[in-house]
Structure 1
Amino acid sequence: MTTNVGVSGYFRRCPGAEFEKLTPLPVALSGWGSEHMRGSAVTGALARSAENEGRARRDLRPVRFTADLQRAATMAPVSTRSTVVREGGRLLLVDSEFLQNGHVMARARTLFLPTTQRVVADPPWSPDRSPSMPPAGLRPATDEGRLFFSEEHGWSADAAAHQNSERKQLWCRSIPVVERESVSPFQASATAADLTNLVTHWGGGGVRHINADVTLTLARFPDGQSLGLSATGRVGGGAISVGTAEIYDHRGVFGHTAVSTVLQSGRPVDTITQLMRGSRIELSSGRHGRTEYA
């Protein structure tokens, strides 16, 4: 498994006297506006901060991450900070903040639980199916490393083929939160979780709902840094719509995600342009060369 080829990270780290500062890089730009930061960059930075705060508790790992996207983050420098809310023998709660110009733009709460492996002799019910995997030979069309699925067309690298009302899946490689840092399994999951809005609210007219939060629950960490999202439900009431998805890797489903959204009053995101805006990957030769994807 590899991280995204040709994409250095959402942020560049700039150590500071009190808090480090993170300078957003071009891949952090959202489709909602010329200065808006994409949600995956925000959730990734919050997950990184929470993980750093909980690093001393090696007996615990993150199992739930909920981010509230309070204000639209811009492409201005960022700082993050985390504090322990509650710590016990088998539990750790960490609150994290994402700040710009002294204002809290987003916050998250992360729940850590024990990592002890125990086998349940008589496990309860669970689904007997797993989301589909992209074909082994299929390669992404841009260096953001995404493949797309809709029930009408199956898997392809062409986002335009999936601008429809069918149920969707998405497979992606992890983008580093900070350049020159490896992506932890938790950070990879948290950045991908924001894409729940894409698989649940991408229709024939683009993405018309913007998510105000992201919730991720993890039964285990992903095996590698390539993972997928598969829409499981969407419930709408007026301008409000809630979407849910499974998050999975080549071993199967390892968690669930959910987003609460509101109808965007202005134009919808030009989904095709945003999904295909990354530079084209040269699959046979050139700077990027061939890369393992799935």
Structure 2
Amino acid sequence: MAEHTFFTRDTASRYLPAPRAFSLWGPDALNGPAVCAVAAHAVETGHTRAGWRPARFTIELFKAARGLPTEVRTRVARSGGRILVIDFDVLQDDPESREVLVASGVTVFLREGTNPPGSRWSRPAAELTFAAPIVDDTDAHPRFGGDAGWTSTMADMQHAERKRMWSAPIPVAPDSPLTAFQRAVIGGESASLMTNWGEGGIGFINCDLTVAIARLPRGTRIGIEADSHWEADGISIGTASLYDEAGPFGSAAVTAVENSRAMIDFATLTPPIWTDQA
């Protein structure tokens, strides 16, 4: 149903924003997960190949998307024996019937194979600090974690501690079942929230997102944990690790710019609804 998706369908290639696509940055502004989701959906729908896996998704969010008809156009930039590169543009139709480019990016598909021989370093399981909360299967509300444990109330997280999230992303459109790749991209967009959220709320808005995945996530929920945050002169960068029910599977990185004039204080504002909250 449309109330549980980011968009509805206008035509085969055009999407209309649904209520869950909107953000708290402004009355007509779409949220980052919705824009990333519709791009990932279009790329995957048009370019999936058997034996190939989407390994990297990068999007430049250089103009605020609004509550307007939205279209994603894709094109093959490179097609080789082991790599397939797809460029994409996210466009919207404004009231004056002009096309406005709001985002663009690239998705890299890699051909699956076997790992090289020998062992390589990875973070030992004993050093992993993300452990998913126990959530009833009928409860899809997101959980937010800090040093004190997990909560479903965003106001409880208005502090400068490291942050974690466990959520169930929603589909792009009613006729488009959510895929593992789209789930990873939608969950990965929360890297901006997890790394830029602090005392008083979130005052940085991300202008890009890169999600890199070694394998497709399993299950319906995505976990994300802040790994780093650095800021100076109104610019921040953040990285986060992505988890599913089996453990870590990828990472996300964002660059963000100061947006204090529209700072979102989750202690006073209704939280965003990009996850499957009934």
TM over 0.5: yes
Q: Which amino acid aligns with 1:241?
A: S
- SS at structure 2 position matched to 1:222: coil
Q: Which residue of 2 aligns with 1:269?
A: 264
Q: CA deviation at 1:135?
A: 3.0
CA spacing shift, 1:279–1:183, aligned 2, 3 Å: closer
Report the count of equivalent residues: 270
Q: CA deviation at 1:160?
A: 1.5
Q: Which residue of 2 aligns with 1:111?
A: 108
Q: CA deviation at 1:14?
A: 2.0
Q: Which amino acid aligns with 1:52?
A: T
Q: Which residue of 2 aligns with 1:207?
A: 202
Q: Which residue of 2 aligns with 1:252?
A: 247
Q: Distance in 2 between matches of 1:22 and 1:278?
A: 16
Q: Which residue of 2 aligns with 1:126?
A: 122
* Matching residue within 32, 47, 51 for 2:40: 47
Q: Which runs of no fewer than 5 residues in structure 1 stay unpaired?
A: 282-287, 289-294
Residues 194 and 225 of structure 2 are in contact (CA less than 8 Å); yes or no, is this contact kept in structure 1?
A: yes
CA spacing shift, 1:150–1:138, aligned 2, 3 Å: farther
Residues 62 and 186 of structure 1 are in contact (CA less than 8 Å); yes or no, is this contact kept in structure 2?
A: yes
Q: CA deviation at 1:137?
A: 4.3
CA spacing shift, 1:229–1:59, aligned 2, 3 Å: same
Q: Distance in 2 between matches of 1:79 and 1:131?
A: 39
Q: Distance in 2 between matches of 1:6 and 1:68?
A: 27
* Matching residue within 236, 239, 263 for 1:241: 236
Q: Distance in 2 between matches of 1:157 and 1:260?
A: 27
Q: Which residue of 2 aligns with 1:66?
A: 58
Q: Distance in 2 between matches of 1:74 and 1:51?
A: 23
Q: Distance in 2 between matches of 1:198 and 1:140?
A: 25
In the TM superposition, 1:1-294 aligns within 5 A as 7-15=3-11, 20-55=13-48, 57-101=49-93, 102-116=99-113, 118-128=114-124, 129-137=127-135, 145-151=141-147, 153-272=148-267, 273-275=269-271
1:189-224 deviations in Å (ceiling 9; x for gaps): 111111111110111110010000000000000012
- SS at structure 2 position matched to 1:246: strand
Q: Distance in 1 between matches of 2:186 and 2:178?
A: 10
TM-score, normalising length from structure 1? 0.86
Q: Which runs of no fewer than 5 residues in structure 2 stay unpaired?
A: 94-98
Residues 7 and 175 of structure 1 are in contact (CA less than 8 Å); yes or no, is this contact kept in structure 2?
A: no
Q: CA deviation at 1:131?
A: 3.8
- SS at structure 2 position matched to 1:223: coil
RMSD across aligned C-alpha pairs, in angstroms?
2.3
TM-score, normalising length from structure 2? 0.90
Which aligned segments of 4 or more residues in structure 1 are displaced greater than 3 angstroms?
Answer: 137-141, 276-281
CA spacing shift, 1:46–1:163, aligned 2, 3 Å: same
Q: Distance in 2 between matches of 1:120 and 1:177?
A: 36
* Same amino acid, percent of matched pairs: 31
Q: Which amino acid aligns with 2:110?
A: L
Q: Distance in 1 between matches of 2:187 and 2:166?
A: 9
